[in-house]
Chains A and B, each alone.
Chain A
Amino acid sequence: MRPVAVVGIGKTAFGALPDRDLRSLAVEAGQNALENAHAKTSQVEAFYLGNFAGPSFVGQNHLAPYVAAGMGITGIPATRFEAACASSGAAFFHAVSAVGAGIYDVVLVTGVEKMTSQSTPRVAEILAGAGDLCGEVRAGATFPALFAMIARRHMYQYGTTREHLAAVAVKNHQNGAKNPLAHMRKVITMEQALNGKLIAEPLTVYDCSLVSDGAAAVLIAPLDRASEFTDKPARVLGIAQTSDNVALDEKEDITTFRAVRTSAEKAYKMEGLKPADIQFAEVHDCFTIAEIVAIEDLGFVEKGQGGPYTLAGRTCLQGERPINTSGGLKSKGHPVGATGVGQICDVVQQLRGEAGERQVQRHTIGLAQNLGGSGATSVVTILGAV
């Protein structure tokens, strides 16, 4: 594969945005990415859109040409990718693969979700469509319930505690409070996190990511053309997407995401990198337990040590390996289809040294991990400053 770089990034604010529709969010993010790369719409050779459930949330189908045309882009391949909460991670993976293979040079990848126009039970039901409708969902599982069952088993096998989970939420809110584009820009205390309203035991409202509207976009190009667009390209050092069973009860061990492990192994291998080489990461904290499992499966800590490592402050902004400096899905927000590309934008921002008061000290190699469902899709991307 020829070297590929991210040459432009663009996001909208994440949040409950009642005045904004899906297309206007996606168009704004795409235009921001093009502007960031000093690129024209006429240079875009293909459009990849990540979106989980636009047809259910807002009723609109045929989304990719609809969004592209909203930006004045027609006459190119425009395709939507759906892989639950890893929809735009998957779109990014396939876009990088196509540019890497030499099929296109300049590709725009956007992720978008418009969620807040539906009631909470309806949102839960739409999201549950990423689970096994004939088994776990029929029995009454929601995504909080599935991750609650993962948390219970992780606690049972490894001694993980409620405090460990709460430490993830407290840390991510500290970071998100400093992110101008975050959905919930407020600090929370350990006390609050431990005593939130129960959603699915042992998870409280503070263990769950937010239901948000928002969009994010990146422009990618071959590394040897990157200087046409930016003096701060971020090279894709490794990227992989892998799959696993959808139903939780079909997984041998629910305290680990097998797809995260396999996608991480493949991504590390591409440039001979190791977990120790990763200086900072954006990981998929759809629930606090998911961040703990992710940092274990990515190889940052031994299995079962994710909770103690977090509680000890090792993943905070000043820690040895900052995790979710954006605030994560927990505080930044989780417009599901936008999340994967949003993570890429956040990693690139750090690599460029443009993260303001959230800037990490070591910022030459970062990682993004995007999870679909309860682990049936994983996309791991490693990016490096050039």
Chain B
Amino acid sequence: MSDLGAGTVYTETVVWSPPEAYVNDVPYQLAIVQLESGRRITGRIAGDRAQIGDRVIFAEFRNQVPFFRKA
């Protein structure tokens, strides 16, 4: 899978009540990232919490889920 590059947070939430598959991950931050390539993608924010408008950089895919970090 490719490097998604950088982007900005379009919206985000921190999930406290998870689906069955992610009960061990809570709380986790989910975000829709506006990529510099133009498209939006839903992924996770690793590390420090990010807010709308924050610049983030693609870190890695884990189980096909893109993870980003605050720039």
Q: How many A residues have CB within 8 A of the partner chain?
A: 35
**CB closest chain-B residue, reference A132:** B42
Which chain B residues lie closer than 8 Å to A274 at the CB level? none
- One of A7-15, A84-92, A148-156 at the interface: A148-156
Please indicate the chain B residues that have their CB under 8 angstroms from the CB of A124 in the complex. Answer: 17-20
Are B18 and A140 in touch, CB under 8 angstroms? Answer: yes
Q: Pick from A120, A139, A145, A254 the residue with the most CB of B within 10 Å.
A: A139
Chain B's nearest CB lies how many Å from the CB of A55?
17
Assess whether A45 is interfacial by the CB under 8 Å rule.
no
* Cβ contact of B17, chosen from A142, A150, A202, A249, cutoff 8 A: A142
Question: When the two chains form the complex, which single residue of B10, B12, B20 contacts A125, counting CB atoms closer than 8 Å?
Answer: B20
Find out whether the CB atom of B20 lies under 8 angstroms from the CB atom of A249. no
Interface bits B33-71 vs A (CB < 8 Å: 1, else 0): 000000011111000000011000000000111100000
C-alpha gap A138/B64 in the complex (Å): 8
- Point out the residue from A122, A128, A136, A200 that lies within 8 Å of B42, measured CB to CB: A136
Contact (Cβ within 8 A) B30 A139: yes
Please give, as numbers and ranges, the residues of chain A lying within 8 Å of B42 by CB-CB distance: 135-136, 139, 141, 247-249
Contact of A198 with B by CB under 8 A: yes
**Residues in B neighbouring A385, C-beta threshold 8 A:** none
Q: Which residues of B contact A199 (CB under 8 A)?
A: 16-17
Nearest neighbor of B14 in chain A, beta-carbon distance = A201
Q: Given A124-B18, A140-B25, A140-B28, A249–B41 Cβ distance below 8 Å?
A: yes
Segment 139-197 of A: residues with Cβ below 8 Å from B? 139-142, 144-145, 148-150, 152-153, 156, 197
Interchain CA distance A197-B17 in the complex, whole Å? 10
- Whether B44 and A140, one on each chain, are in contact in the complex, defined by CB atoms closer than 8 angstroms, is yes
B65 CB, nearest partner CB in chain A, Å: 5
The one of B10, B11, B53, B65 that contacts A140, using a Cβ cutoff of 8 Å? B65
Is A356 part of the binding interface, using a Cβ–Cβ cutoff of 8 Å?
no
Chain B contact patch, size range: 20 to 34
Residues of B within 8 A of A122 (CB): 20
Chain B positions within 8 Å of A142 at CB level: 15, 17-19
Q: Cα distance A250–B16 when bound, in Å?
A: 24
Assess the A152–B11 pair: CB atoms within 8 A: yes
B17 with A200: CB separation less than 8 A: yes
Which residues does chain B contribute within 8 Å of A59, judged by CB atoms?
A: none
Scoring B11, B16, B63 by chain A CB atoms within 10 A of each residue's CB, the highest score goes to B11
Q: Does A121 contact B (CB under 8 A)?
A: yes
Which residues of the other chain, A, contact B13 by a CB distance below 8 angstroms?
Answer: 145, 148-149, 152, 200-203
Cα–Cα distance between A197 and B26 once the two chains are bound (Å): 14
Given B11, B28, B41, B52, which contacts A135 in the complex, CB threshold below 8 Å?
A: B41
Contacts of A121 in B (CB 8 A): 18-20, 23
A149 B11 Cβ-Cβ under 8 A: yes
Q: Residue B32 at the A interface, CB < 8 A? A: yes
**Are B18 and A138 neighbours in the complex by a CB distance under 8 Å?**
no
Closest partner residue, chain A, to B17 (CB atom): A199
> A139 with B17: in contact, given A248-B42, A249-B40, A249-B41 (CB under 8 Å)?
no
Q: Write out the residue numbers on chain B whose beta carbons fall within 8 Å of the beta carbon of A136.
A: 42
Residue of A nearest to B40 (CB): A249
The listed residue (B12, B16, B31, B65) touching A198 by CB distance below 8 A is B16
Can you list 22 contacts pairing A with B, beta carbon distance less than 8 Å?
A122-B20, A124-B18, A124-B19, A138-B63, A138-B65, A139-B42, A139-B43, A139-B65, A140-B22, A140-B44, A142-B19, A145-B30, A152-B52, A153-B10, A156-B52, A198-B14, A199-B16, A200-B13, A201-B14, A201-B16, A249-B41, A254-B32
Residue ranges of B at the interface with A (Cβ–Cβ < 8 Å): 10-23, 25, 28, 30-32, 40-44, 52-53, 63-66
Q: Which residues of A approach B to under 8 Å, CB–CB?
A: 119-122, 124-125, 128, 135-142, 144-145, 148-150, 152-153, 156, 197-203, 247-250, 254
Apart from A152-B13, A203-B13, what 16 extra A-B contacts exist at CB < 8 Å? A121-B20, A121-B23, A137-B19, A138-B65, A139-B44, A140-B15, A140-B19, A141-B15, A144-B17, A145-B15, A145-B30, A148-B15, A156-B53, A199-B17, A200-B15, A201-B16
10 cross-chain pairs, A with B, having the tightest CB-CB distances, nearest first = A148-B13, A121-B20, A136-B42, A149-B11, A153-B11, A249-B40, A125-B19, A201-B14, A198-B16, A199-B17
